[in-house]
Structure 1
């Protein structure tokens, strides 16, 4: 994985880490399912009007929208509304990385190199250390399980976007936003009810709702369009097991911002866990040098791996 692609993956991790603060602000006004429906509705309309449909099989487009859009954010927003702390949510959602690796191996036949497997294991250990310090004190079992389900949804979306192999990944990302709005709105009507929806919409017209709208705008434009667009572009060019570990950098940003802005102070062991996450990701993404010059000099060796789903040496 070239250094510029690694840097892009880090940028996405920072954007998505800050996104948890934006979600927290939005949920102060909007109930979870309505908030998710609004997030995608704001992007679906201009997408249908101005963005050409991506040249990918419909099943992968729908799968991407269901996994990445509906499952991930329905469970995540519900978990945070049920009491999942912002920083902890940013950590537990990164269960998507090991989920992606496991599903990639089971469903796509992808191989994970020993180096990458060790890096993912170290990063997962870091997540476990941080989670063990915060779960009992700040969140119950239900929000934790809901966030794990959100991570599984993200992993399903990762594999669908990879299988789509869109020639224009941003178009795929934009069209993914067409899938969630109606199902999420129906969920909102069934679960949250017209009265709660009406109250939220009325409150959203006050000055107190400005942070919620700013958070919704950040989530829509920067997290979804920019972040997901770059992520889809990377997933189309590299094996799932190479790209997915970078998502483990998201909680580093999320926990740090939750500490600074929301007063969620991390314990010393949480900082140790964060260091393990960073170290594991860096180790998993580090390419192993190949001793034969004739092989390393051929740039085309990167192409078959993206088509077949097999990992390169990492």
Structure 2
């Protein structure tokens, strides 16, 4: 029996990607799509690539319009989902692709986001290795409220957590620099995201520990077993519509060899359908993950400087957002985890 689905924020990039994947999901049927300023317009006018959903019309984003569905996906700006979800039935599976329910620390929320703190939900990163050796996947089973991780957070966490968990990487002095496509900033018109501003150029933003994903990265690496985690995280906007390439480095723990490091990652991801460690000496391209719910990781160990570098590529709109949301929904509902999702990218 097909499950009824509502997608809030369906006119944006994340909402559109949710709908693209959901359109071919064997167990879900999208029955309601909502928006704020675009309410009343045909979905196809805002998402012209979604031809199979041309029969849908955007309605206003309200709790009343989202109620009564089996699954509700929220692709809303931070601060918007908390007030709506409080009005939805407890037995409805609600998956928030925004930031409102990611952070377990109210003080971190106040420092990096501000406004009302709505509390933390079950965290939707199934592959995150935890300090006790389990995976976050186990907590998702049967959950009815799930918070999807930030896209930058996904790339850094998946690229470092196995090393932290195994004790082969030191949790202090972690540095990550990310090349990020502008679709991660959403569809809202902003001068700095105009093609004439970003084509042929690149620039850093959220510099000096100010990016809102910083506490979430610390939260994940602490959950993986890190004590006293410190992260210097700098995203760089680059002229590609989607994708993240995260270059993350950490110090080798004393007495640890390159073989020890590689073994930790091989063990962590050996059976993961969507996280793939590449052979030694190979490093991923963002182009290899476009359209796929896949994280590709390359690993290098510099035994002279005693630092490890991981290169992680994801599609920020799939593994970084919509794919993670649907993967988590599958797990929560007891469906096959890979249902509706692909590991194959789009090339060229």
Greater helix share, structure number: 1
TM-score by length of 2: 0.23
TM-score by length of 1: 0.25
